[in-house]
C-alpha cells in the first residue's frame, strides 16, 4: 500500500514585515513549510511527499527545503491540488495538507490512515467551543459542528475521480466536499490544537507559543585535539589563520569545527565524528571540516531539531585568537545558518602547562544547545 502526501504551499500572501510568501517565512526556527514537510516525510507510513508551489516560487522553495519534489499549482486551491494529484504518480492513499498548518502530529496521520480502512475519505476535526453568531446577530447552534482541519486523507482513486468530475466553474470548500459529491461518506477523526491554521500575521506568534512546549532542550559537549606540524595550514572555525605552523590530521584538522560537530552529534545521540567520517576512509583526506559540521547540522534538522546556541573555547598558547575571533564566529554562524548572536567564540591559554602550553598542539571544546521535538 503506497501512501503519498501533497502539501499545498502555493499562496502568495506575505507575512507582515516579510518579503517572501508566508509559507516560506521563518517560524519556530525554520521556514513554515519545512515543519509539515518534516512531519510527513518522517512518518513511517508516508512514502512520498510532493509540494505544490505558486508560479515563480521555485527559488524560495529551494532555499527553504533544497531540491525536493514539487509541482506548480493553479489559479485556485482546487486546481493546485489537481495539479498535485496529476503529478503524484502511483499511490493507493493520498494525504492533502495545507502548509499554513505547520505543526502536524503523527498521531493525526495515524488516525486518518486508520479511518481509510473503512472510508474513502477521512478528515481531522475539532468541536466548536465558541458561541457562533450569524451576520444578522442570530445565534447558530454549535451542536454537531466541527472545525475542519488538514491533512485530509483519501483513497487515491476516489479523490482523483472526485476532482475529475467536479465542475470547473465552481469552487469547493475542501477536498472532502468534492468526495461527498460522489456519494462517499467522509469520516471525521480527532484533529489537534497544534494544527491551527496560520492566516494572519499575529498567528505566527501564537503558533510559536503553541510549538514551544513540544520541544525539549538538549545540550551536549564536544572536545578535540590536533597536533601542530610544520608546512600545514591552520584552519580554525572554517577560517584560514596565518601562523608559523598548522594542525595536522586526516582532514583539514580544524579542531574548532570538529569539537562543534561532536557537540551537535551529541545532542541527538548520533555518536561522534569518527563514526560518521572515519579517518580510514580516503574520501575525507584533506576534506574541509565545514562539510562535517554541515552534515551534523543536517542530522539535527532531520530529527526536527533546531540549533539554539553554540559556545566554543579554543585552547592554545599561540597564535592569538583575538584578532580572528569575529571572523571565526561569522564563519561558524554561516555554516550553521545561525545569527551571529547565537554563536560564542572564546579562547584561553593553559599558562604554558601541558601539550597546549608547550605549543605541541591545540584543543577545542564546544557546547551545543538545541531543541528537539519531545517524542
Ligand atoms: Mg579532529
Q: What is the pLDDT of residues 245-286, one digit of tens each?
A: 999 998 899 999 999 999 999 999 999 999 999 888 888 887
- Cα 104 to middle of ligand 1, angstroms: 39
317 C-alpha to center of ligand 1: Å?
A: 18
Query: Can you give the pLDDT at residue 52?
Result: 98
Distance (Å) from CA 140 to ligand 1 centroid: 67
Cβ-based burial of 15 (10 A; exposed 0-12, middle 13-18, buried ≥19)? buried
Centroid of ligand 1 to alpha carbon of 231 (angstroms) = 18
The Å distance, Cα 254 to ligand 1 centre, comes to 7
Question: C-alpha dihedral over 148, 150, 155, 160, to 10 degrees?
Answer: 100
Check whether residue 70 and residue 186 sit in a common domain: yes
CA 319 to ligand 1 center in whole angstroms: 18
> Are 236 and 177 contained in the same domain?
no
* 226 Cα: distance to centroid of ligand 1 (angstroms): 6
Same domain, residue pair 303 and 185? no
**CATH number, domain with residue 189:** 3.90.550.10
- My answer on whether 168 and 32 are in the same domain is yes
Distance 288 CA to ligand 1 centre (A): 12
d(CA 238, ligand 1 centre) in Å: 13
Is there a single domain that holds both residue 170 and residue 221?
no
Q: Are residues 295 and 364 in the same domain?
A: yes
Given 199, 224, 245, the domain boundary residue is 199
Q: How many domains does the chain have?
A: 2
In the chain, the percentage of residues whose pLDDT exceeds 90 is 71
150 alpha carbon to ligand 1 midpoint, in Å? 46
Find the 258 Cα to ligand 1 centroid distance in Å: 5
- Spacing, Cα 290 to ligand 1 middle (Å): 12
Is there a single domain that holds both residue 237 and residue 178? no
**Cα(301) to centroid of ligand 1, in Å?**
23
Instruction: Report if residue 119 sits inside a domain.
Output: yes
Q: What is the pLDDT of residue 23?
A: 94
- Kindly state the average pLDDT of the residues 166-175: 92
Residue 248 alpha carbon to ligand 1 centre in Å: 9
Residue 345: which pLDDT band, with cuts at 50, 70 and 90?
very high
Do 128 and 15 lie in one domain? The reply is: yes
CATH of the domain at 256: 3.30.1330.50
Same domain, yes or no: 193 and 226: no
In a domain, 260, yes or no: yes
Q: Which domain does 187 fall in, by range?
A: 3-199
- In this prediction, residue 17 carries a pLDDT of 65
If asked whether residues 335 and 288 sit together in one domain, one would say yes
254 and 153 share one domain? no
Amino acid at each position: 500500500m503506497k501512501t503519498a502526501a501533497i502539501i499545498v504551499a502555493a499562496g502568495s500572501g506575505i507575512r507582515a514585515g516579510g518579503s517572501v510568501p508566508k509559507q516560506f517565512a521563518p517560524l519556530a526556527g525554520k521556514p513554515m513549510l519545512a515543519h509539515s514537510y518534516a512531519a510527513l516525510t518522517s512518518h513511517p507510513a508516508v512514502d512520498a511527499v510532493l509540494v505544490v508551489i505558486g508560479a515563480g516560487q521555485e527559488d524560495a522553495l529551494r532555499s527553504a527545503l533544497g531540491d525536493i519534489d514539487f509541482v506548480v499549482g493553479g489559479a485556485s486551491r482546487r486546481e493546485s491540488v489537481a495539479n498535485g494529484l496529476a503529478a503524484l504518480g502511483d499511490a493507493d492513499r493520498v494525504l492533502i495538507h495545507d502548509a499554513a498548518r505547520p505543526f502536524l502530529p503523527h498521531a493525526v496521520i495515524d488516525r486518518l490512515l486508520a479511518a481509510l480502512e473503512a472510508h474513502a475519505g477521512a478528515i481531522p476535526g475539532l468541536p466548536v467551543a465558541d458561541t457562533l453568531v450569524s451576520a444578522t446577530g442570530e445565534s447558530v447552534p454549535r451542536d454537531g459542528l466541527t472545525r475542519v482541519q488538514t491533512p485530509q486523507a483519501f483513497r487515491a482513486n476516489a479523490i482523483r475521480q472526485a476532482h475529475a468530475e467536479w465542475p470547473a466553474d465552481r469552487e469547493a470548500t475542501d477536498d472532502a466536499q468534492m468526495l461527498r459529491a460522489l456519494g462517499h461518506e467522509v469520516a471525521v477523526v480527532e484533529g489537534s490544537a497544534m494544527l491551527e491554521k496560520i492566516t494572519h500575521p499575529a498567528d505566527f506568534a501564537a503558533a510559536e507559543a503553541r510549538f514551544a512546549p513540544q520541544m525539549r532542550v538538549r545540550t551536549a559537549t564536544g572536545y578535540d585535539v590536533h597536533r601542530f606540524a610544520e608546512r600545514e595550514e591552520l584552519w580554525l572555525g572554517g577560517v584560514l589563520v596565518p601562523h608559523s605552523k598548522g594542525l595536522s590530521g586526516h582532514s583539514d584538522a580544524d579542531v574548532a569545527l570538529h569539537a562543534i560537530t561532536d557537540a551537535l552529534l551529541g545532542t541527538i545521540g548520533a555518536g561522534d565524528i569518527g563514526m560518521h567520517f572515519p579517518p580510514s576512509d580516503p574520501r575525507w583526506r584533506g576534506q574541509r571540516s565545514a562539510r562535517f559540521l554541515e552534515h551534523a547540522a543536517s542530522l539535527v534538522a532531520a530529527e526536527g531539531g533546531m540549533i539554539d546556541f553554540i559556545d566554543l573555547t579554543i585552547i592554545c598558547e599561540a597564535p592569538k585568537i583575538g584578532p580572528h575571533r569575529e571572523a571565526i564566529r561569522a564563519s561558524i554562524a554561516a555554516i550553521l545558518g545561525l545569527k551571529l548572536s547565537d554563536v560564542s567564540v572564546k579562547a584561553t591559554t593553559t599558562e604554558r602547562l601541558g601539550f597546549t602550553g608547550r605549543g605541541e598542539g591545540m584543543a577545542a571544546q564546544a557546547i551545543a544547545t538545541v531543541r528537539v521535538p519531545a517524542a
